[in-house]
C-alpha cells in the first residue's frame, strides 16, 4: 500500500505543478497581449448603408497562442431591439505574431427607419455593445465587453403637417380644382443631410382623394424645414378634417406612405 | 525503572521538538512559496483585491492544518487532519472560485475570465489528494491492527 500511496503522491504533486505553471503562464500571456484600436471611421456603402470601420492591431508577445479572437459589435435601441450587428473573427494569433484587421459593421438606415418609425420622428439614445473574446492557450476563454451610449437624431423630428388652406375660389375653367397650401415643418436632427422629395396626398373625412402635392427637400443636418406645399385640390371634396398620406424619398432613406390626420 | 521513565520523557520531548521543527520548516517553506507567488502575481492582485483576500484566507487555513498535521504526526489525528486538509482544498475551490468564472470591471469595461477547465482539473487533483489521505489512513489503521506474534 505504501508504494501505491507514494505513487499517488508523486503523480499528484507533478500534476499540481503542471496545472499551476500552465494557468499562471496563460494568465501572464494575456498581460503581454496588445490590442490597439485605430480611429473609428464611417463611410456610406453602395446601397446607402452606413459602414462603421474600426482598424484593430493584435500583437501577441506572450507565451501562449491566442485563438478564436472575435470582435463583435451590436447596436440596440432603447427597447433593446437590435438595429445591427457585426463580428470579425481571427482564428489564430501565434506567439510573437501580429495581425492587423478591419472590423466593419453595416447600419442600414433605410431598413431601420422603415421598421422602427420612432427613430424617424423621435431622438433616441442608442447603445453600442462591443465585445472582444478570445481563448488563451486554447483553454481559457476571456471576454471583455463595453457599452457605449450615443444619441440618435431623428431626421424628421417634430414632423407636423397643417390643415389645407384654400386661398381663393376656383377659376371658371379650372374644372373645380383650386390651389391650396399645406404647411409642413420638421427639424433634421440626423447626422446626414436630407436631399429628396416629399409627396403629399390629401384625403377628406370620407377617405376620398382631395388632391396631391410634392416638393423637393434640401435640408442640411441640424436645421429646420418650414415650407408651404402647393396642393391641387378638388374644391367639392375639401372637408374640415381628414388625413394626409406623406411619403419621403431621399438618397438615404425612403418612407411612406405615413398617415397624418388633420383638422382645421 | 526511574532511569527508564526519565529516558522516555526525554524521548518524548525530543520527538515533540523534532515535530515542531519539522512543522515550522514546512509552514515557513509553504508561506515562503506563497510570498514569492504574491510578488509574481502583484499585477493581478491590484486588479482583483478580493482574489488576494480569498487566497490569504486559504493560505492561513491551509497553513494551520499543515502545522497541526505535522505536530500530530504518528497519531490518528495526523490522518484526520490530512483528510480535512484535502477536503478543505476541494471545498475552497468550489466555493471561492464562483463556479470558475471570474468577472471584474475595469472602469466601463467588464472582463470575464472562464477558468472552468482549470478549476475542474484542480478539483479532480484535490479529489486525488482526498483519496491519498484516505489511503494513508487505511494503511495506518491496518498497520496498527496487525496481530503481533506472542
**All structural domains of chain A:** 2-152 (2.60.40.10), 157-263 (2.60.40.10)
Cis bond leading into A257, ω under 30°?
Answer: yes
- What's the pLDDT score for residue B4? 66
Across A82-94, average pLDDT: 91
Across A10-17, average pLDDT: 91
Do B86 and B133 form a contact (C-beta atoms < 8 A)?
yes
* Chain A neighbors of B117, CB-CB under 8 A: 139-140
Q: How close B55 gets to chain A, by Cα (Å)?
A: 14
Above 60 in pLDDT, residue B2?
Answer: no
- What's the pLDDT score for residue A188? 92
Q: Residue A89's pLDDT band (boundaries 50, 70, 90)?
A: very high
Lowest pLDDT segment from A124-128, B31-35, B47-51, B137-141: B47-51
- What's the pLDDT score for residue A185? 92
Residue closest to A73 by CA, chosen among A150, A112, A131: A131
Q: How close B85 gets to chain A, by Cα (Å)?
A: 14
Residues A103, A86: Cα–Cα separation, whole Å: 8
Lowest pLDDT segment from A175-189, A234-248, B10-24, B42-56: B42-56
Residue closest to A12 by CA, chosen among B59, B26, B122, B34: B122
CB contact under 8 A, A8 and B128: yes
Above 70 in pLDDT, residue A199?
Answer: yes
* Chain B neighbors of A5, CB-CB under 8 A: 132, 135-136, 139
Above 90 in pLDDT, residue A45?
Answer: no
Above 80 in pLDDT, residue A244?
Answer: yes
- What's the pLDDT score for residue B3? 64
CB contact under 8 A, B44 and A142: no
- Residue-wise pLDDT tens digits, A102-135: 999 888 888 888 888 888 898 988 888 989 999 9
Chain A contact for B108, CB < 8 A?
A: yes
Mean pLDDT of chain B: 84
CB contact under 8 A, B109 and A145: yes
Above 90 in pLDDT, residue A198?
Answer: yes
Q: Where are the beta strands (DSSP E) in B28-148?
A: 101-106, 109-114
Across B38-61, average pLDDT: 80
Quick one: what percent of chain B has pLDDT higher than 70?
94
Q: Which residues of A touch B (CB under 8 A)?
A: 1-2, 4-5, 8-9, 11-12, 15-16, 19, 22-24, 27, 31, 139-148
Q: Which of B117, B121, B125 sits opposite A12 (nearest CB)?
A: B125
Radius of gyration of chain B (CA): 21
In this prediction the ipTM stands at: 0.77
Across A126-147, average pLDDT: 90
Cell (9 digits) for B47? 486588479
- Residue-wise pLDDT tens digits, A170-183: 665 666 777 888 89
Across A237-260, average pLDDT: 86
CB contact under 8 A, B132 and A144: no
Angle of CA points A184, A190, A196, to nearest 5°: 55
Above 60 in pLDDT, residue B150?
Answer: no
| B27-66 residues touching A, CB cutoff 8 A | 40-41, 43-44
Q: Which of A27, A31, A140 sits opposite B114 (nearest CB)?
A: A140
Q: Which residue of A has its CA nearest to B111?
A: A144
Q: Widest CA span of chain B, in angstroms?
A: 79
Across B46-55, average pLDDT: 78
Across A9-27, average pLDDT: 88
Do A13 and A51 form a contact (C-beta atoms < 8 A)?
no
Q: How close B108 gets to chain A, by Cα (Å)?
A: 6
Chain A contact for B133, CB < 8 A?
A: no
- What's the pLDDT score for residue A187? 93
Hey, of B79, B85, B118, which one would you mutate to test binding to chain A, going by the most A CBs within 10 A of its CB? B118
- What's the pLDDT score for residue A207? 87
- Residue-wise pLDDT tens digits, A210-242: 888 899 999 998 899 999 988 888 777 777 788
Beta-bridged to residue B81, according to DSSP, are none
Using CA atoms, how far residue B15 sits from A121, A165, B46, in Å, is 88, 112, 44
Across A29-39, average pLDDT: 84
**pTM: predicted TM-score of the whole model, two decimal places:** 0.70
Residues B19, A262: Cα–Cα separation, whole Å: 97
Q: Is A205 left (phi over 0), alpha (psi -120 to 50) or beta?
A: alpha
Above 60 in pLDDT, residue A47?
Answer: yes
Q: Which residue of A has its CA nearest to B143?
A: A1
Do A248 and A255 form a contact (C-beta atoms < 8 A)?
yes
Q: Which of B112, B125, B142 sits opposite A16 (nearest CB)?
A: B125
Residues B92, B87: Cα–Cα separation, whole Å: 8
CB contact under 8 A, B128 and A31: no
DSSP B29: H
Above 90 in pLDDT, residue A70?
Answer: yes
A19-39 in b/e form (b: 16+ CB < 10 A) is eeebbeebbbbbeebebeeee
DSSP B111: E
- Residue-wise pLDDT tens digits, B69-93: 888 888 889 888 988 988 998 888 8
Quick one: what percent of chain A has pLDDT higher than 90?
27
Cell (9 digits) for A179? 390651389
- What's the pLDDT score for residue A238? 78
Across A50-55, average pLDDT: 86
Amino acid at each position: 500500500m505504501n508504494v501505491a500511496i507514494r505513487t499517488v503522491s508523486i503523480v499528484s504533486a507533478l500534476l499540481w505543478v503542471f496545472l499551476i505553471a500552465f494557468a499562471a503562464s496563460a494568465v501572464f500571456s494575456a498581460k503581454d497581449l496588445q490590442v490597439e484600436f485605430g480611429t473609428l471611421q464611417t463611410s456610406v456603402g453602395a446601397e446607402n448603408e452606413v459602414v462603421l470601420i474600426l482598424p484593430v492591431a493584435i500583437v501577441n508577445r506572450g507565451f501562449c497562442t491566442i485563438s478564436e479572437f472575435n470582435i463583435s459589435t451590436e447596436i440596440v435601441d432603447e427597447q433593446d431591439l437590435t438595429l445591427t450587428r457585426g463580428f470579425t473573427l481571427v482564428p489564430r494569433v501565434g506567439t510573437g505574431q501580429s495581425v492587423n484587421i478591419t472590423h466593419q459593421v453595416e447600419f442600414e438606415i433605410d431598413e431601420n427607419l422603415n421598421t422602427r418609425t420612432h427613430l424617424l420622428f423621435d431622438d433616441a439614445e442608442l447603445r453600442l455593445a462591443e465585445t472582444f473574446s478570445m481563448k488563451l492557450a486554447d483553454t481559457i476563454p476571456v471576454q471583455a465587453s463595453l457599452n457605449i451610449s450615443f444619441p440618435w437624431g431623428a431626421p424628421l423630428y417634430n414632423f407636423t403637417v397643417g390643415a389645407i388652406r384654400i386661398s381663393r375660389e376656383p377659376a371658371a375653367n379650372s374644372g373645380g380644382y383650386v390651389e391650396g397650401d399645406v404647411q409642413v415643418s420638421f427639424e433634421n436632427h440626423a447626422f446626414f443631410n436630407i436631399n429628396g422629395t416629399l409627396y403629399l396626398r390629401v384625403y377628406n373625412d370620407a377617405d376620398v382623394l382631395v388632391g396631391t402635392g410634392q416638393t423637393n427637400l434640401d435640408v442640411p443636418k441640424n436645421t429646420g424645414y418650414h415650407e408651404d406645399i402647393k396642393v391641387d385640390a378638388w374644391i367639392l371634396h375639401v372637408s374640415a378634417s381628414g388625413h394626409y398620406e406623406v411619403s419621403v424619398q431621399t438618397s438615404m432613406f425612403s418612407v411612406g406612405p405615413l398617415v397624418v390626420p388633420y383638422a382645421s | 525503572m526511574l532511569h527508564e521513565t526519565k529516558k522516555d520523557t526525554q524521548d518524548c520531548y525530543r520527538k515533540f521538538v523534532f515535530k515542531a521543527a519539522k512543522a515550522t520548516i514546512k509552514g515557513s517553506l509553504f508561506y515562503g512559496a506563497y510570498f514569492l507567488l504574491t510578488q509574481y502575481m502583484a499585477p493581478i492582485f491590484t486588479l482583483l483585491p478580493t482574489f488576494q483576500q480569498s487566497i490569504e484566507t486559504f493560505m492561513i487555513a491551509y497553513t494551520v492544518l499543515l502545522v497541526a498535521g505535522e505536530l500530530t504526526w504518528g497519531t490518528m489525528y495526523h490522518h484526520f487532519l490530512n483528510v480535512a486538509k484535502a477536503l478543505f482544498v476541494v471545498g475552497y475551490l468550489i466555493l471561492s472560485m464562483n463556479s470558475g468564472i471570474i468577472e471584474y470591471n475595469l472602469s466601463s469595461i467588464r472582463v470575464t475570465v472562464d477558468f472552468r477547465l482549470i478549476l475542474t482539473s484542480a478539483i479532480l487533483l484535490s479529489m486525488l489528494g482526498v483519496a491519498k489521505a484516505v489511503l494513508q489512513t487505511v494503511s495506518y489503521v491496518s498497520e496498527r491492527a496487525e496481530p503481533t506474534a506472542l
